[in-house]
Chain A
């Protein structure tokens, strides 16, 4: 064995027995990461965490907004019901009638237009509007919230043009305890209301209104160069999806200063020419119900494939 100077050996022993001797250990290639690498990895992890938190926050905000909207609509509905309960001019059953003096509806309970009695109609209405919510999964509850908001918006939109209109699709009465049936009922209500709205618009009863300083279509659909709404996966950037309330705001904004023009023969809806020369259409989409779209536009951002669906 080769000679080793004991003084050097003692020096090495003291060196490796120091309290911070781990600092002098040769780094293992597989585990060692330079300060810069560690810093980059740490920043990437922080960014990932922040992005995930932002997405979660946005989702929660959206759910909260929907819940607020549902609560607001429920409150409005309760108010409406309260207002309906008492009218001083509501007719009473005549003298001599077994129910004489009691409040009665106009028509005295005769069968309605569709042949159903008031009693049945009010049962339907009760099931449609006031029945307790069946037990469901959180996803079903959220879905029911969403379709309820959308149905309420769709019905309200029609009632602005035809205040006495009520949807007839009442599939919820088939099973008021089945969440899926409730959801389908709301979807059917929305489809019916959307179809009615398009029919009323075609008949010239739309709610376009005069406006001198109407914003351009691009200003409405892409304010400050940012498109409204969100983009669903695998669809073009020009296909946007909005919450029903936002959709209604956009539609109302586009109606300002618009005038109806004859749509293409194949078009399932109505066209409006706006003050900036663009033409926007409102039609029934197969999958998305009432849809807004740009038919003619010279703006590079808001082109002829731009459309807005409701969530």
Chain B
């Protein structure tokens, strides 16, 4: 039997949970606040295990075409964040390092960094 962690509430294996994360990107970008909450409270992860969960989640989101974005202070306007790097490995490491430097907090809902598809950060995508 696999030792893969399962979601505390749903019983879903972690790999399946991460694989389905991009399924909502057409509706809305996915926030770090949600990823961290999933790993921390959903799977009971802490420290390096939580960082690894974040890394795998970012890889899955970027594999689906998402990029780091931030809210622009008004609804439905997102700004692409290019300072984290150009590929999923660079972005994941930079994002995790930034999160660790801040003391590995669980961000407040609807704040911080998100991962969104081009429709969210390209002006043509908002039409």
Contacts and interface: CB of A to CB of B under 8 A. Distances in A.
A159 interface: no
Contacts of B73: 265-266
Given A236-B20, A266-B72, A288-B27, A300 B109 contact: no
A236 B24 contact: yes
Contacts of B28: 285-286
A304 B23 contact: no
Interface string A209-247: 000000000000000000000000011111100000000
B75 A266 contact: yes
B17 interface: yes
A295 interface: yes
Contacts of B74: 265-266
Interface residues of B, number: 30
Interface string B1-19: 0000000111010000100
Contacts, number: 80
Looking at A236, A264, A288, A298, the one whose CB has the most chain B CB atoms below 10 A away is A236
Given A236-B23, A237-B12, A264-B111, A305 B71 contact: no
B9 A305 contact: no
Contacts of A298: 41
Nearest to A295: B109
Contacts of A33: none
Contact of A286 (B17, B27, B38, B72): B27
A281 to B, nearest CB: 8
Interface in B42-76: 42, 71-76
B96 interface: no
A26 B111 CA distance: 74
A301 B27 contact: no
Nearest to B27: A285
Given A265-B71, A286-B76, A305 B24 contact: yes
For the residues of A in contact with B, the DSSP-based class is loop
A107 B12 CA distance: 63
A300 B76 contact: no
Given A234-B20, A268-B76, A287-B26, A303 B110 contact: no
B104 interface: no
A146 B89 CA distance: 44
Nearest to A302: B9
Interface of B: 8-10, 12, 17, 20-21, 23-24, 26-28, 30, 33-34, 37-38, 41-42, 71-77, 109-111, 119
29 contacts: A234-B20, A236-B17, A236-B23, A239-B27, A264-B110, A264-B111, A265-B71, A265-B74, A266-B71, A266-B72, A266-B75, A267-B75, A268-B76, A285-B27, A286-B28, A286-B119, A291-B27, A298-B41, A299-B9, A300-B9, A300-B41, A302-B9, A303-B37, A303-B41, A304-B38, A304-B109, A305-B24, A307-B24, A307-B27
Given A266-B76, A269-B75, A287-B27, 18 more contacts: A235-B23, A235-B24, A236-B21, A237-B12, A238-B10, A239-B23, A264-B109, A264-B111, A266-B71, A266-B72, A268-B75, A287-B26, A296-B109, A298-B41, A300-B9, A304-B34, A305-B34, A309-B27
